[in-house]
Amino acid sequence: MGIIFVKDREGNSHKLEAEAGSTIMEIIRDAGLEIEAACGGCCACATCHVYVEENWLSKLKTRCEEEILMLDQAFHVANTSRLCCQLEFDEQINGIVLTLAPD
């Protein structure tokens, strides 16, 4: 069991328990934070957009072609933008810090 830190749209920080094998989207959704994740995690929408704190970026797998394409439907996309249904939690990113992108 690990943890992730998520800042919501009101600026409040949440410390969430995270289990390997779950995606970051699932962890955020199941904790009841406001994340739409409309397509259910198959990288077919852009409603689980988060910003990853810069120093964690290199620990993540790079964006696949599909994620890059779907990010075109997101707003305020930055270098640190990810669709978190594509980020699987593991020991490598235990303690990762994320911010939910604006709605």
Residues at the contact surface with other proteins, assessed by CB under 8 A: 36, 38-40, 42, 44-47, 69, 72-73, 75-77, 102-103
Three-state helix/strand/coil letters over 65-96: HHHHHHHHHCCCCCCCEEEHHHCECCHHHCCC
- Beta carbon of residue 94, minimum distance to other proteins (angstroms, whole number): 30
Cβ nearer to other proteins, comparing 40 with 95: 40
Cβ nearer to other proteins, comparing 19 with 103: 103
Cβ nearer to other proteins, comparing 60 with 77: 77
d(CA 20, CA 94): 9
Task: Determine the Cα angle at 83 with ends 78 and 89, to 5°.
Answer: 120
Going by the DSSP 8-state scheme, the letter that residue 1 receives in this structure is -
- Beta carbon of residue 79, minimum distance to other proteins (angstroms, whole number): 8
